[in-house]
């Protein structure tokens, strides 16, 4: 039996077009890019003018030198890169971060060093990944009571840990 994955070479869903404006301090850096054909996240880079050293337990807002024009009905999620977290203890706060379709300012990444060693970020380092996702806006309605469910108010481990 042939177990090779079916691959048309195209994304299974239509890809939204994201407009990108390079800011002066990011003009020479690569645009966000997918590392592999199957990657869900595109790597985004640090647009620092000089290297930044994060001491253990500290955080910094790192510029990317990019602004996005995201189509209505979509968001861009900012997520950590697993290698930075696993190898260096460096991750992102407020994750996943959301860039709304109507935001036009510079994208900045909140890096935090959770390790016991200083970590240096250099210009052009891949510091995060971005994932494009559809947005659904709900209609919120106040009620005096909620429908009964089997779970009820159980939370924070109430369904078990195994």
Known binding residues for substrate are 81-83, 94, 98-100
Omega of the bond leading into 96 within 30 degrees of 0 (cis): yes
DSSP track, 14-70: PPPP-EEEE-GGGTTSPPPEESSTT-SSEEEE---SS-EEE-TT-EEEEEEEEEEEP
Q: Which residues, including other chains, have CB under 8 Å from residue 133's CB and lie 6 or more apart?
A: 74, 75, 76, 77
Of residues 44, 50, 23, the one with CA closest to residue 122: 50
Strand 106-113 and strand 59-69: pairing? antiparallel
- Binding positions are 81-83, 94, 98-100
Contact indicator for 34, 10 with CB cutoff of 8 Å = no
């Amino acid at each position: 039996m042939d177990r090779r994955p079916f691959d048309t070479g195209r994304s299974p869903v239509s890809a939204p077009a994201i407009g990108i404006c390079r800011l002066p301090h990011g003009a020479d850096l690569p645009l966000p890019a997918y590392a592999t054909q199957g990657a869900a996240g595109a790597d985004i880079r640090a647009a620092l003018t000089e290297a930044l050293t994060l001491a253990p337990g500290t955080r910094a807002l790192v510029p990317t030198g990019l602004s996005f024009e995201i189509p209505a009905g979509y968001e861009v999620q900012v997520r950590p890169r697993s290698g930075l977290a696993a190898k260096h203890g460096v991750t992102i706060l407020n994750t996943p971060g959301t860039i709304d379709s109507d935001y036009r300012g510079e994208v900045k990444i909140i890096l935090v060093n959770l390790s016991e060693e200083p970590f240096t970020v250099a210009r052009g380092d891949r510091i995060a990944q971005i994932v494009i996702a559809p947005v659904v806006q709900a209609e919120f309605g106040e009620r005096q009571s909620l429908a009964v469910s089997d779970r009820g108010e159980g939370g924070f481990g109430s369904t078990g840990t195994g």
